[in-house]
Structure 1
Amino acid sequence: MRIRRFSVALPVGDLAAGRDFYVRHLGFRAAVDNDRVVKLLHDDPSYELVLVPRSGWEGTEGAVLALEVDDAAAEEERLRAEGVEITAPLRDEEWGERLFQVTDPNGVVVQPVQWIGGRPGDI
Structure 2
Amino acid sequence: MTVRRVVPNIRSEAVRESREFYGLLGFEEVMNHGWIMTLASPSSPAAQISVMGEDRTAPVTPDLSVEVDDVDAAYAVVLESGAEIVHPLQDEEWGVRRFFVRDPSGRVVNVLGHR
* TM-score normalised to structure 1 length: 0.81
1:120 alignment counterpart: none
Is 1:48 matched up with 2:62? no
Tell me the number of residue pairs that the alignment of Structure 1 and Structure 2 aligns. 114
Runs of 4+ in 1 over 6 A off after TM superposition: none
**What residue in structure 1 maps to residue 17 of structure 2?**
17
Structure 2 residue 32 is matched with structure 1 residue 33: yes
Secondary structure at the counterpart of residue 50 of structure 2: strand
* In the alignment, structure 1 residue 67 sits paired with structure 2 residue 66: yes
Q: Per the alignment, do residues 108 and 55 of structure 1 end up closer, same or farther by CA in structure 2, a change over 3 Å counting? A: closer
Q: Identity of paired residues, percent?
A: 31
**Per the alignment, do residues 84 and 55 of structure 1 end up closer, same or farther by CA in structure 2, a change over 3 Å counting?**
closer
Cα RMSD for the two superposed structures: 2.1
Q: Determine the C-alpha separation between the residues in 1 that align with 2:72 and 2:59.
A: 19
Contiguous gaps of at least 5 residues in structure 2: none
One-letter amino acid matched to 1:64: D
Q: Tell me, what secondary structure is at the counterpart of 1:4?
A: strand
- Shift in Å, 1:45: 2.4
CA displacement, residues 76-113 of structure 1 (integer Å, 9 cap, x when unaligned): 01111122221110111111111101111221111111
Match of 2:80 in 1: 81
Q: Distance in 2 between matches of 1:110 and 1:55?
A: 13
